[in-house]
Amino acid sequence: MHDEEIRSCLDLSYYRLERAGEDLQTAKNNYEDGNYRAANNRAYYSIFHSLRSVMALDQYDSKKHSDTIVTIFDCDRSERELLKVKWAIDETKLPEENKVYWKDVVNKGIEICRKDRERL
């Protein structure tokens, strides 16, 4: 992969992660306002855009939610992908509290991958 392609992948990944952060903040606001359906919707899209952020690092994309979920949770590559997300989170301009939240989510995902690998 050339430097230009790498930069393009990183830019797309950052964009999607920032979009995920915006959706997460909107979900929090909706929840605090008692708009639980809207909060659930925005939380879901925050996760979806986070997953697509990871996939951009591998130059893979799908707009279909089912393809995104199946691709990202392929256990043979999940831990590697989650480590990429952890790195990408540090590089974003997300508010620090969102970075801490997403790093916790990623760490839990890595822990689950490791337990699944041991189980298999």
> What would the pLDDT profile of 95-117 be if each residue is shown by its tens digit?
777 778 777 777 777 776 676 66
Domain count, the chain: 1
> What would the pLDDT profile of 49-85 be if each residue is shown by its tens digit?
888 887 787 777 766 666 666 566 565 566 666 777 7
> What would the pLDDT profile of 27-55 be if each residue is shown by its tens digit?
999 999 999 999 999 988 888 888 888 77
Tell me the pLDDT of the chain averaged across its residues: 77
pLDDT score at 78:
64
Give the separation between CA 84 and CA 79, rounded to whole angstroms: 9
- Phi first, then psi: what are they for 53, rounded to 5°? -65, -45
Amino acid at 35: N
Does pLDDT of 93 surpass 60? yes
Amino acid at 70: V
Helix, strand counts (H, E) of the chain: 5, 0
pLDDT score at 120:
46
pLDDT score at 72:
60
pLDDT score at 33:
96
Give the separation between CA 89 and CA 13, rounded to whole angstroms: 10
Does pLDDT of 91 surpass 80? no
Spell out the residues 6+ positions from residue 56 whose beta carbon is closer than 8 angstroms to its own. Answer: 9, 12, 13, 16
Q: What is the extent of the structural domain holding 46?
A: 3-119
